[in-house]
């Protein structure tokens, strides 16, 4: 602000007297300590660790079952897979990985699952595509997605999406409940 603007403002508010208002919300707002800042480098490092924890060399063998992709985290009931395939849980969110390269897709999945955890979303759809547009007409991301998801602690189970939800080009994922 320039000096002449300051002077003009001071002149305009010279006779103004502050209101004496007792308000719990204002007092609470003023007395609450400000949250400590989070270093952006820390967040960047944390994301890198999450990405590095998902190995591209890990191979989850589902036996390429007839029904497509299936995964159930150890210690959970096989009924979860049946319920997931029948649409017991409503899909609360969805991401589409079409056109992404492997590293980009991995980062997107890590970020999305983290966001779902914060928003308390339990059932999501990840569209990885059928591989029709890839070089060898094979689904590159499909296998990588199934291996990445099998490594994520947040994932309880996943199953190939029903035909109306993307079929072999998508997967329905059930995430742990976080409060």
- CATH class given for the domain over 40-175: alpha beta
Q: Which of 58, 87, 62, 57 is nearest to 72 (CA)?
A: 62
* Mean pLDDT to the nearest integer, 4-15: 88
Query: Residue 14 gets which letter from DSSP?
Result: T
pLDDT of residue 56: 59
> For 158-175, what is each residue's pLDDT tens digit?
999 998 888 989 999 999
**pLDDT greater at residue 64 or residue 37:** 37
CB-based contacts of 43, cutoff 8 Å, min separation 6 = none
Q: What is the DSSP string of 53-115?
A: HS-SS-----TT-TT--EEE-TTS-THHHHHHHHT-SPP-EEEE-TT--HHHHHHHHHHHHHH
* SS3 call for 172: strand
Q: Is the pLDDT of residue 157 over 90?
A: yes
Is the full-model pTM beyond 0.85? no
pLDDT band at 2 (very low <50, low <70, confident <90, very high): confident
Taking a C-beta distance cutoff of 8 angstroms, is the pair 110, 50 a contact? yes
> For 66-116, what is each residue's pLDDT tens digit?
455 789 999 999 999 999 988 899 999 999 999 898 899 999 999 999 999
> For 19-40, what is each residue's pLDDT tens digit?
776 666 655 555 566 667 767 7
> For 130-148, what is each residue's pLDDT tens digit?
877 777 777 789 889 988 9
pLDDT of residue 125: 97
């Amino acid at each position: 602000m320039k000096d002449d603007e300051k002077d003009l403002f001071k002149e305009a508010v010279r006779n103004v007297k502050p209101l004496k208002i007792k308000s719990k919300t204002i007092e609470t707002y003023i007395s609450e300590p400000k949250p400590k800042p989070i270093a952006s480098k820390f967040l960047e490092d944390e994301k890198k660790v999450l990405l590095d924890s998902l190995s591209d060399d890990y191979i989850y063998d589902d036996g390429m079952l007839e029904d497509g992709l299936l995964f159930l985290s150890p210690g959970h009931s096989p009924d979860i897979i049946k319920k997931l395939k029948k649409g017991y849980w409503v899909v609360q969110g969805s991401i589409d990985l079409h056109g992404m390269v492997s590293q980009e897709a991995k980062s997107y999945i890590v970020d999305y699952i983290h966001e779902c955890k914060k928003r308390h979303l339990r059932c999501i759809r990840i569209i990885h595509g059928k591989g029709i547009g890839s070089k060898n007409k094979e689904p590159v991301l499909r296998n990588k997605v199934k291996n990445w998801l099998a490594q994520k602690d947040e994932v309880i189970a996943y199953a190939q999406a029903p035909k109306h939800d993307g079929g072999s080009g998508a997967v329905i994922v059930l995430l742990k409940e976080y409060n």
